[in-house]
Structure 1
Amino acid sequence: MIVYTEDGSPTILSSHYGEHYHSIHGARAESEHIFIRCGLLHRLGAWERTEELHLFEVGFGTGLNTLLTLREQQTSHLKLRYSTIEKYPLGEDVYNHLHFSVDLPEEDTLLQALHRAPWGEDKVLQAGFTLHKYSDDLTAFVFPPDIDLIYFDAFSPDTQPDLWSEDVFARLAASCRPGAVLVTYCAKGEVRRRLARAGFRMERLAGPPGKREILRGTYCPLV
């Protein structure tokens, strides 16, 4: 069911998990703050623009994070490989009615192209932006190598505890390059400690409207 949030952008209430895909205090505001400003733009601060950046997203969901990243890539001249995993993709009857108003030309057409892109293979959405969607279970997933940035946007640990396990974080870290950055809306202490044990140097950051804190980690493997 589509629900409109406080900034006017939509989210979806999952009938399966009983949780919203995005914050009811502002779906677009949440994604822009956590995944774009604290994630992508932070990572680009120390990035050589001639090199392809590999971004991995846990939870493709509505496609909002991908759409916002696509917007930034259009203006940054960045080469970006965007890999994302989603076990329960949205149906066409749902994503055709999503309108996020992210100031992107032909936004609705691009959002539909993201959802309609084939699963399990590379799809070039525009020059410098390659999308690869995995329809799989994260608990048994073999992560692709050389990840530089992670959007960890699964449903909450209370709802999907297996996705926030020490095993998942350890396997994810093993596929990261040194200096890779992970951002997530979840600020739970146990999640922070598990990520730290996996090799991420963790920090708490101010959250978006309606949320006090979020987490960001930088992968620093032991030598």
Structure 2
Amino acid sequence: MYKTISTNDGSNTLYSSQYNQHYHNINDGAIFETLTKHVIPAITFHKNRHELNILDICYGLGYNTLGTLYYLKTNNLKIKVNIYSPELNKKLVKSLKDFDYPKEFSNLKHIIKCISEDLYYKDEQIEIKVFFKDARVLLKDLNIKFDVIYQDAFSSEVNNELWTKEYFSLLYNLCNDDSIITTYSVATPVRLSMYEAGFYIYEYIPYKRKQTLAFKKQQNLLGKYVDMELKKTRNPSAKALYDR
């Protein structure tokens, strides 16, 4: 079901035959993509916070969660993080203690092992919980408000249920007023789904590629505001994604 692939920055990812997609953009690199598309914009936006609740959709190889810890430790940031992450593939998570992670994660091996074996890790700065549960079921069960959401599921072409207006409505209800959602997708239907759920949409170019950021309130720190009403006027055939 999986094949290990070396990406352009030297870090490894997997190819999923079930979804016919890689877990990361192999041309950008797994660790590069994690840091630039998710971790850095999220932490930059919340640079003055002392504690963050983070929702990592979905855990997969754990790069976004581990990349967050790496970035905090490397930059000596004293932000406490509570990370929650759904993941359907129990076998995959259980195997990650043996996965060949990049050197950047070498000081996180004890955390990788704990998550792989117990789905849980906690110390004075970090708490991580992984749930073997359908993401949408978990979202309905959670009674937590999030400051950061890493929207990093497989693409809408193969994983439609995690990109629809109804799905983003679930996220909206779990977001604090100053929450940030990071995602690699720049597809108009995805942005419309987020917009119709109530989010303000921004285009952000961290280094190589455009990406999307979403907020419950307008902000002027990251990205360029995208007027979705104007987009709809200019492209009337574009539609949001909805549950089938």
Q: TM-score, normalised by structure 2?
A: 0.79
Q: Equivalents in 1 of 2:136, 2:106: separation in Å?
A: 37
- The yes-or-no answer on 1:157 pairing with 2:160 is no
- Given that 1:186 and 1:215 are in contact with CA atoms closer than 8 Å, whether structure 2 keeps it comes out as yes
Could you list the per-position Cα deviations for residues 2-38 of structure 1 after superposition, in whole angstroms to 9, with x for gaps in the alignment? 1100111000001211111111011111111011112
Q: Equivalents in 2 of 1:189, 1:182: separation in Å?
A: 16
Task: Return 5+ residue gaps in structure 2 as ranges.
Answer: 219-244
- The correspondence of residues 1-223 of structure 1 with structure 2, limited to 5 A, is 1-25=3-27, 26-39=29-42, 41-45=43-47, 47-49=48-50, 52-74=51-73, 75-89=76-90, 90=92, 92-93=94-95, 95-102=97-104, 104=105, 106-118=107-119, 123-124=121-122, 126-141=123-138, 142=140, 143-206=142-205, 208-209=207-208, 212-220=209-217
Task: Indicate the SS of the match to 2:103.
Answer: coil
Could you list the per-position Cα deviations for residues 136-158 of structure 1 after superposition, in whole angstroms to 9, with x for gaps in the alignment? 11233324421111001100000
- Given that 1:62 and 1:95 are in contact with CA atoms closer than 8 Å, whether structure 2 keeps it comes out as no
Q: Equivalents in 2 of 1:157, 1:69: separation in Å?
A: 25
Deviation of 1:108 (Å): 3.2
Task: Indicate the SS of the match to 1:76.
Answer: coil
Q: Equivalents in 2 of 1:79, 1:191: separation in Å?
A: 31
Deviation of 1:78 (Å): 1.0
Deviation of 1:56 (Å): 0.5
Equivalent residue pairs, number: 210
After superposition, the Cα gap between the structure-2 partners of 1:48 and 1:65, relative to the gap in structure 1 and judged at 3 Å, is closer
- Given that 2:85 and 2:129 are in contact with CA atoms closer than 8 Å, whether structure 1 keeps it comes out as yes
CA root-mean-square deviation: 2.0
After superposition, the Cα gap between the structure-2 partners of 1:144 and 1:123, relative to the gap in structure 1 and judged at 3 Å, is farther
Could you list the per-position Cα deviations for residues 152-193 of structure 1 after superposition, in whole angstroms to 9, with x for gaps in the alignment? 110000010111111110011101110100000111111111
Q: Equivalents in 2 of 1:117, 1:56: separation in Å?
A: 19
Q: Equivalents in 1 of 2:161, 2:26: separation in Å?
A: 24
Percent of residue pairs bearing the same amino acid type: 23
Q: Which has the larger radius of gyration?
A: 2
Q: Equivalents in 2 of 1:201, 1:43: separation in Å?
A: 15
Task: Return 5+ residue gaps in structure 1 as ranges.
Answer: none
Q: Equivalents in 2 of 1:152, 1:91: separation in Å?
A: 18
| Greater relative CO (CA pairs within 8 A, separation 6+) | 1
Q: Mean alpha-carbon deviation: is it higher for 195-204 or for 140-149?
A: 140-149
Kindly indicate which of the two structures has a greater share of residues assigned to helix: 2
